[in-house]
Structure 1
């Protein structure tokens, strides 16, 4: 009879600061977060003797709780790391959002971790060595199975991040680095299974190989699985998708976001010629439905959670008129008073006469009559700061043409969202609206010619003239394929994040009038 053994791998990705089983926007209970996942892991450990638990990045940023922690309680242990330590994580990978709070917060998180952070392609620019330590580890389980675990992070981080947050750090090509590391492991290590964690997603359809997004290098998972020999399992993330499949003989998986689901991989080995050989491997994305949160973790989180809730319920000001978003699509087609308020905040903080912003997601609800911090963090969910760029009229025209691609016409000739902004993940935040200029978009016009008019202070925009334009740091770096903004002169940087700027703006005024300046039109 052939000798056999099995191992189980559990992993999370894009937790985004979710600890508590709660939706902070509505304050309703939800089956998600690390407190719930901790219960699941404990149960799985009781059922499985040989188990590995991993995290694939974007761990520490994304909820009001973590925003409040960083602003007001950063001297205390990082709650995300404390819970991962209790769970018994074997290794983690930094995601792009790990850098959002700056190097000090990230370094504290790494220092507090009882597990290694792996990212072979993030290197110290002085030494050329991996910034977070070893590029890989070898984990030997009690059944003798040896698992090589390595990690890389999308090298697109500098296109999004504030420069000072990544000063002294280089981001090498993730695909090239992973290929080199796999060869190094193959040459130097004795192992039975090789797992690669990649904080990045798929650039092609897994079944057909057809390109599904611009090949910028942000996502390279398909190429990794298809062209790097020796990876048994590729754990992905970043795109917030629920995906399982096989590319060549590489098992691939992605388990969504916000701790709503996790990846579970089962591998069976058989004993052949004095070593373990993979017999079967299977991956599933599973939800946390029906799993209770860990009562010990809930107790430990009580003080910080209550402080967060108090902060979220603080009254900030009032709205005179109607600033509720009832239809996010219409809020992009026609000027909405919520968008006008965000533009005013950006212009007030920067002094710029032209502003760019986006409705960040379809879950945005706008502001009710009485505004609290909860309303602000629900509607503005990213820790963006502001940058004023000096742009030519031609730059502005190109950016407007890029935004105009958000719209398309359906089979009936009606205006709808371009599928490119929905698949493989929703990217509504990559459609911008402008303040301080007047413009019109004709959706039926050919790509590159959809913007029919642009004026500034009553006169046609001068294509060669320079204009100061305020936008968030993500867009200013060219994020969302707005390449026309890359490497443009920076006039000013405002280091306060937008949640703080919006709350300060409203608090100072007390009453905000819901107004609309009809400065743009989007027509069929």
Structure 2
């Protein structure tokens, strides 16, 4: 947890002194969730065991805070509606029913939400249904209607006015990097403007025209620089601009962030209190503002922030009851038998699976190649929790290994592009002082990015990590001949990668030969159902040496 303390105050004593002096005071509590990713219940769907996650536990914490405090705002920072088998099953089989995530959020009585990048994964029809069903506004000042240039979701901000006359503005912003990841039809008609320039205009408007006493910016994005030193922690692509918002936009009191799944509290940048509460509902972010009235206007005297973990919280029975019918249908679907694996397709060691050809990765690539009728493919082991496939495969096993609703594209690239992509993947590794292989910190901090290391089928290659980054591909062949840098090759990859996601900008804008519009989990299930028995095989077409 990144819990670097702000200057501490004896808040109660300070406010007591002000009250005794006859000064009017006010305490405002801001609660934040972010990157809930479809987690309502405290369960790990891969293992079907209890886990310290989800809105049911968050609800208990929220109720406790509301019982203690008179003035509480509850805000969601995005990536709410996608990420678990429950939300996938709902989106693909029962999306005419009320959305389970919205039902839970309505029950928690959120004041506002911001669309994150994964809000778009299931398409515009489902997303706009979510907006319509919500009892709270969805805010994004920088996602615009391409024609009118007005906020696409209608509301760039919301204003909360309290009986004491305090005016609190909440401005929503979303990372503009979404077009690099999302399927074109899911964001058709939308324009993603720069959050910093957008914030400069709107924060000034909120301060000067709306006379807001407090301005909260809820930004579905993270920090591109070290919070202490200001040194860049990633390529400054525009995916994360939280540090820039704090430094360049005057008038922000609190910046709520997300997207990177970090645990950040007790930290301020340029006087702006910043917060990020992790992912999956592991913690609730809490910011407390101590306000006092000066010359007829409310001013912030003190600020503090903390993270409230959910481990010790009991799940709210009302939220569990609300989710029960969705959960029962999901569990029945997850336990459906699909087929059998002959041989070993389990992931015993995720690092080993990335150092040499593995049966699970070869299988995933074969599925993509079959669906797209392509003879070159690339895919990834998305995280270190991917278990692989047991002998008897169910839908649970499929969604435990392929955790995104990706579709696939066949992209025409040059040999030079292929080499550049492989070099990007090869930068995933580093060696320590003893010569042992480790993950390059750029792929693990501030957010794990194992999904950005690709493994290929249909070509033969060798990665030598004793070589400098950018010069590690020491063999690259197609059908027994060296890859021609100027020649063109057709490669199937997921839609995220085809858009340049993960800093694979060599793929961005390349011709799309074929678009496979079937989600990966469904594609994998169909492949196994059709064949009934799958042999775990490897052809050893690639390896890592050092």
Tell me which interval the TM-score lies in, with the shorter structure as reference length.
over 0.9
Q: 1:295 offset after TM fit, Å?
A: 1.3
Per the alignment, residue 315 of structure 1 pairs with: 337
CA contact (8 A) 1:316 1:510 kept: yes
Confirm whether residue 485 of structure 1 aligns to residue 507 of structure 2: yes
Q: Distance in 2 between matches of 1:64 and 1:253?
A: 28
Q: Secondary structure at the match of 2:476?
A: strand
CA contact (8 A) 1:50 1:142 kept: no
Of residues 259, 272, 280, the one that matches 2:281 is 259
Per the alignment, residue 210 of structure 1 pairs with: 231
Per the alignment, residue 292 of structure 1 pairs with: 314
Confirm whether residue 197 of structure 1 aligns to residue 209 of structure 2: no
When the two structures are aligned, how many residues end up with a matched partner? Answer: 524
Per the alignment, residue 132 of structure 2 pairs with: 111
Q: Distance in 2 between matches of 1:521 and 1:179?
A: 49
Q: Distance in 1 between matches of 2:307 and 2:538?
A: 44
Per the alignment, residue 250 of structure 1 pairs with: 272
RMSD: 0.9
Confirm whether residue 384 of structure 1 aligns to residue 384 of structure 2: no
Per the alignment, residue 460 of structure 2 pairs with: 438
Of residues 25, 30, 39, the one that matches 1:18 is 39
Segments of 4+ moved more than 6 angstroms: none
Q: What TM-score do you get using the length of structure 2 for normalisation? A: 0.95
CA contact (8 A) 1:237 1:256 kept: yes
Gap regions ≥5 residues in structure 1: none
Q: 1:434 offset after TM fit, Å?
A: 0.5
Per the alignment, residue 507 of structure 1 pairs with: 529
Alignment of 1:96-135 (within 5 A): 96-135=117-156
Q: Secondary structure at the match of 1:483?
A: coil
Q: Secondary structure at the match of 1:276?
A: strand
Q: 1:115 offset after TM fit, Å?
A: 0.8
Q: Distance in 2 between matches of 1:424 and 1:295?
A: 35
Q: Secondary structure at the match of 2:506?
A: helix
Q: 1:346 offset after TM fit, Å?
A: 0.2
CA contact (8 A) 1:198 1:236 kept: yes
Confirm whether residue 403 of structure 1 aligns to residue 403 of structure 2: no
CA contact (8 A) 2:82 2:121 kept: yes
Alignment of 1:53-64 (within 5 A): 53-64=74-85
Q: Distance in 1 between matches of 2:56 and 2:151?
A: 31
Per the alignment, residue 188 of structure 2 pairs with: 167
For residues 25-81 of structure 1, the C-alpha deviation after alignment (integer angstroms, 9 at most, x for no partner) is 111112221122122212221211111110000000000000000111101001111
CA contact (8 A) 1:50 1:143 kept: no
Q: Distance in 1 between matches of 2:127 and 2:332?
A: 26
Q: Distance in 2 between matches of 1:447 and 1:295?
A: 52
Per the alignment, residue 28 of structure 2 pairs with: 7
For residues 249-289 of structure 1, the C-alpha deviation after alignment (integer angstroms, 9 at most, x for no partner) is 10001000001111011111112111221111111112112
Q: Distance in 2 between matches of 1:469 and 1:191?
A: 52
Gap regions ≥5 residues in structure 2: 1-20
Q: Distance in 2 between matches of 1:329 and 1:477?
A: 26
Q: 1:105 offset after TM fit, Å?
A: 0.5
Of residues 69, 72, 76, the one that matches 2:90 is 69
Q: What TM-score do you get using the length of structure 1 for normalisation? A: 0.99
Q: Distance in 2 between matches of 1:320 and 1:424?
A: 39
Confirm whether residue 340 of structure 1 aligns to residue 370 of structure 2: no
Per the alignment, residue 220 of structure 1 pairs with: 241
Confirm whether residue 357 of structure 1 aligns to residue 349 of structure 2: no
Q: 1:123 offset after TM fit, Å?
A: 0.3
Q: 1:165 offset after TM fit, Å?
A: 0.3
Q: Distance in 2 between matches of 1:135 and 1:474?
A: 27
Q: 1:142 offset after TM fit, Å?
A: 3.3
CA contact (8 A) 1:92 1:118 kept: yes
Q: 1:490 offset after TM fit, Å?
A: 0.3
Q: 1:492 offset after TM fit, Å?
A: 0.3
Confirm whether residue 145 of structure 1 aligns to residue 166 of structure 2: yes
Per the alignment, residue 83 of structure 1 pairs with: 104
CA contact (8 A) 2:103 2:322 kept: no
Q: 1:408 offset after TM fit, Å?
A: 1.2
Confirm whether residue 49 of structure 1 aligns to residue 70 of structure 2: yes
CA contact (8 A) 2:107 2:319 kept: no
Higher mean C-alpha displacement, 69-78 vs 291-300: 291-300
